[in-house]
Amino acid sequence: MAHVELYDTTLRDGTQQEGISLSVEDKLKITKRLDALGIDYIEGGWPGANPKDAEFFEKAKLLELNHSRIVAFGSTRRPNGSAKHDPSLKHVLEAETSVVTLVGKTWDMQVTDVLRTNLEENLAMISDSIDHLKANGRKVFLDAEHFFDGYKANSDYATQCVRVAIEAGADCVVLCDTNGGTLPHEVSDIVTKLLVDVPEAALAIHPHNDGDVAVANALAAIMAGVTQVQGTINGVGERCGNANLLSVIADLKIKMGIDCVTDEQLGTLAEISNFVYEIINRTPNPYQPYVGSSAFSHKAGLHASAVAKVAESYQHIEPERVGNTNHILISELAGRSNVLQKMDEMNIPASPEVVQTALATIKQQEARGFQYEGADASFEMLVRRSLPDYVPAFELVDFAVTVEKHRTAGGSTPDNTTCNADIKIQVDGNAKHNRSEGNGPVNALDSAARKSLLEFYPNLSVVKLLDYKVRVVDQGSGTESMVRVLIDSTDGDLTWQTVGCSADIIEASWMALQDSLEWWLLGHET
């Protein structure tokens, strides 16, 4: 197959997933990125369904797209009505898109029990609606809703719906697995039979992911002869989502040799995935195939060693092809190769002695509750402290943290809690003592440490704490449990993660905080 058309419905079907709402500006931003990716058709929404979609189509007219065509979505005319006077068809024409997708029923049960009309009238609704839009100069796709369920229930009627659509002038019939319960072998079988019965039909596939096989169903349909695939970025969509168009693109391009996008566009898949996650205000899925941050992560020492020798030994593609990179994780499962590769990434000279010491320390620390796979900066500090030429940026002499709670008389006002921290830090033999108050003990300790360090390192003022997470390591031990503290820090350009672990949450917090500040001061200071 020389080419498969890409149809994106993130802006319509994607927004039907719980928790997703896009502004008009959000939709316009995503549209531009989809155009840059090489998407053939971008479904913008349902004109007339809400003011937001109406505004989008108005503003979309002003977009200068290089490749994509905007699609308006609507439905076939109402039962026993007129296509010319149907409100849905009127709205899609007013959107002034060159392409329209119409949803129509192809499952006999949906026709009789949901639409409450007869099978012949549904065929007339499909035919009349397509004919009306074609007469108005539109390219028309019929969204054959519940097609696979309909075919399994009454193959003759589902096939007839497709035949009527083609005869009315539909440019493509979209086979929808609306409920997402069809399996790949069924998709392949049904598409093959349909193309025998209606060989003149141009077909598309629109799978949902309720059976967790949406991408597989898309590929099965393409192998059986469909020429267009519909999906969403990151697989968002109603209920369990739609086919993840990013995975489909990668599979088509890399695995099946179908040039649906250019090599350059393929290399932006990870970027656009993160972009859409940011727009919809969701944390990216690190385990998402091809584009997730952990998609090419290697934790076991055996794997890391093999990948260092032959990349494809534990990677099915070169991650750079999709804009990703491999990632060697440091944990109790690590071997020498993990440590060596991480040190190479960090430009730290590696000797057998340093590697062995670092590996032994990692395993000991992880047994205590530390976790380095999400705290690269702490790993780097662990290695640097084992080097013979290591000179600390600063040293802790001592600290004390106090928390005082004062109950107010009569309870007329809230109880008062104050947190104070005293800390003495030494730099090149010069000690500084500072005291600070905070809205909590960790905040007070952080503030006091920065006061002391800023006297030696004024540039440290740009370093900020982004996130602070606490996890109980051995939950069965109650209040005596070890706790792990993870800190995310930034200087505005770089972001880094550190970890501390102790039975004392304040000490664990200081470990992570110390690593964070010293990591930046030792070689990363801007």
pLDDT at 312: 58
Structure tokens belonging to residue 293: 């941050």
pLDDT at 476: 53
State percent of the chain over pLDDT 70.
Answer: 83
The pLDDT tens digits for 216-275 are 999 999 999 999 999 999 999 999 999 999 999 999 999 999 999 999 999 999 989 988
Per-residue pLDDT band at 331 (split at 50, 70, 90): very low
Q: Is it the case that residue 408 has pLDDT exceeding 70?
A: no
The arithmetic mean of pLDDT across residues 458-478, rounded, is 78
pLDDT at 283: 78
More confident residue, 49 or 47: 47
Distance CA 356, CA 364 (A): 12
Which one-letter amino acid corresponds to residue 308? A
pLDDT at 389: 81
Give Cα 73 to chain centroid, integer Å. 25
Q: Which of 64, 134, 125 is nearest to 99 (CA)?
A: 134
Distance CA 29, CA 21 (A): 14
**Of 261-270, 286-295, 490-499, 509-518, the least confident:** 286-295
pLDDT at 265: 94
The arithmetic mean of pLDDT across residues 432-454, rounded, is 89
Predicted TM-score of the model (pTM): 0.68
Strands 416-427 and 395-406: antiparallel
Distance CA 195, CA 203 (A): 9
DSSP code string of 435-501 = EEEESSHHHHHHHHHHHHHHTT-GGGGG-EEEEEEEEESSGGGGGG--EEEEEEEE-SS-EEEEEEE
Structure tokens belonging to residue 85: 């006077």
The arithmetic mean of pLDDT across residues 97-101, rounded, is 97
pLDDT at 457: 92
Distance CA 325, CA 188 (A): 34
Distance CA 267, CA 253 (A): 11
pLDDT at 49: 79
Separation of first and last alpha carbons in the chain: 52
State percent of the chain over pLDDT 90.
Answer: 55
Per-residue pLDDT band at 323 (split at 50, 70, 90): confident
The arithmetic mean of pLDDT across residues 398-402, rounded, is 90
Q: Which of 177-191, 326-340, 425-439, 463-477 has the highest mean pLDDT?
A: 177-191
Per-residue pLDDT band at 138 (split at 50, 70, 90): very high
Quick one: DSSP state of residue 30? H
Q: Is it the case that residue 469 has pLDDT exceeding 50?
A: yes
Q: Is it the case that residue 310 has pLDDT exceeding 50?
A: no
Per-residue pLDDT band at 376 (split at 50, 70, 90): confident
Distance CA 504, CA 508 (A): 6
Instruction: Tell me the domains of the chain and their CATH numbers.
Output: 5-261 (3.20.20.70), 361-391+461-526 (3.30.160.340), 394-456 (3.30.160)
Which one-letter amino acid corresponds to residue 497? Q
Q: Is it the case that residue 362 has pLDDT exceeding 80?
A: no
Q: Is it the case that residue 411 has pLDDT exceeding 70?
A: no
pLDDT at 336: 55
Q: Find where tokens 């727009």 sit.
A: 279
Q: Which of 454, 436, 455, 456 is nearest to 446 (CA)?
A: 436
- 3-state SS, residue 71: strand
Quick one: DSSP state of residue 508? H
Structure tokens belonging to residue 315: 């990677």
